Amino acid sequence: KSSALKSERRNPLEKEEIGVLTAERPAISIVVPVFNEEDSVELLCGKIQAVMEKMSLPFEIIFVDDGSTDSSSEKLNALADNHDWVRCIGFRRNFGKAAALDAGFSVAQGDILVTMDADLQDDPEEIPNFVAKLGEGYDVVSGWKSIRHDPVDKTLPSKVFNGVVSRLSGVKLNDFNCGFKAYRAEALDGLSLYGELHRFIPVLLHWRGYRVGEIPVRHHARQFGQSKYGYSRLLKGALDFMGVMLNTRYATRPLHVFGGVGILFGLAGFGILSYLTLLWFAGLGPIGSRPLLFLGMLLIMSSFQFVTIGLLGEFIQRQGAGRERRYTIGSTRNLGEGGPDREQSP
């Protein structure tokens, strides 16, 4: 996002400025990731429109088609063709929700960004409450599905997950999984999202010094289609969370811990070898009679190395993540070659 755009941003939270907003640039951008939600997108679009017109602020909806294989992209293109406040961008293949949000953020023009799921589980009626909470001085407001309408095999792991993340991250939220959130746009500048990171945006922003708030939101059962997530996301999410923690709260700790343990190992090894060398030179006894001891040491040391190298690998992989993504702007039908493609053929 260009800094020129940033400096132009007006603050729709300040009442006197609301009056001068024009339709040129929306005050609120609603970013909706879509992966195979053909039955929901039109309904959702209508519901958001109804709410936003009541709020009488210029708005835009940005649908991000995350490589849907059903008729979602056709539906989204039709919506974009029929309403000038709807825009849609799309990935060539499925990159995941975090990547979809990242792409949506990079094209959103509003001073306030709202994210919500496409599956009608999040209720657009809550949008004014999010905006009001931002107005209290928060930079991020996260939704809390205080009453869940999901099966218990989903809500229970989610409870455990929220408890662990809250403790480790120091961010006091009840619900990290809720996709319904609102942001002051500048808080998102320069953020790079991938994998399961969408759950941890409040953690990343808290670390950057932004104020994170939470409001309870209504949550409906899924009407159409099915949830895209299974248990495989748990491991992925855990690794991504570890990446976030290593990059933020515990940024310097692993280096110290690993360095310290490394030095201890080195000293111990040096001591043992010196002792054995002494024994050998002084001719005080045989030193080659304890193969098990050496095997044990070897295993411990090599496993330690594997673990640290593994962690480094996770780090490095995450640093480059997201660079290969390409999205198109305006129409998912009109796929350009790489990079944002703003030129639409007539």
* Interface residues toward Mg ion, by CB under 5 A: 117, 119, 121
96 binds ligand UDP (CB under 6 A): yes
66 belongs to the binding site for ligand UDP (CB under 6 A): yes
Q: Is 218 in the site for ligand UDP (CB under 6 A)?
A: no
CB of 133 to ligand UDP, least distance (A): 22
When asked if residue 117 is in the footprint of ligand UDP (CB under 6 A), the reply is yes
Residue 37 contacts ligand UDP per CB under 6 A:
yes
CA distance 165 to 241: 8
Closest to 49 measured CA to CA, from 125, 108, 132: 125
Least spacing, CB of residue 90 vs Mg ion, in Å:
20
Q: Which of 94, 192, 247, 248 binds ligand UDP (CB under 6 A)?
A: 94
Cα dihedral sign for 236, 240, 245, 251? positive
Consecutive H or E run containing 245: helix 232-247
Minimum CB–partner distance for residue 336 and ligand UDP (Å) = 21
- Do residues 300 and 44 lie in contact, with contact meaning Cβ atoms separated by under 8 Å? no
The β-bridge partners of 114 are 30, 182
Residues 226-265 vs ligand UDP: string with x where CB under 6 A?
A: -xxx------------------------------------
Q: Are residues 98 and 191 in contact, defined by beta-carbon separation less than 8 angstroms?
A: no
Is residue 64 a contact partner of residue 103, using CB atoms and an 8 Å limit? Answer: yes
List strand residue ranges (DSSP E) for the chain, in order.
28-34, 59-65, 86-91, 112-115, 140-144, 181-184, 212-216, 327-329
Question: Which of Mg ion, ligand UDP, none does residue 85 bind (CB under 5 to 8 Å by kind)?
Answer: none
Using CB under 6 A, pick the residue from 27, 118, 131, 173 that binds ligand UDP: 118
- Binding site residues, ligand UDP, CB under 6 A: 33-35, 37, 66, 94, 96-97, 100, 117-119, 121, 179, 227-229
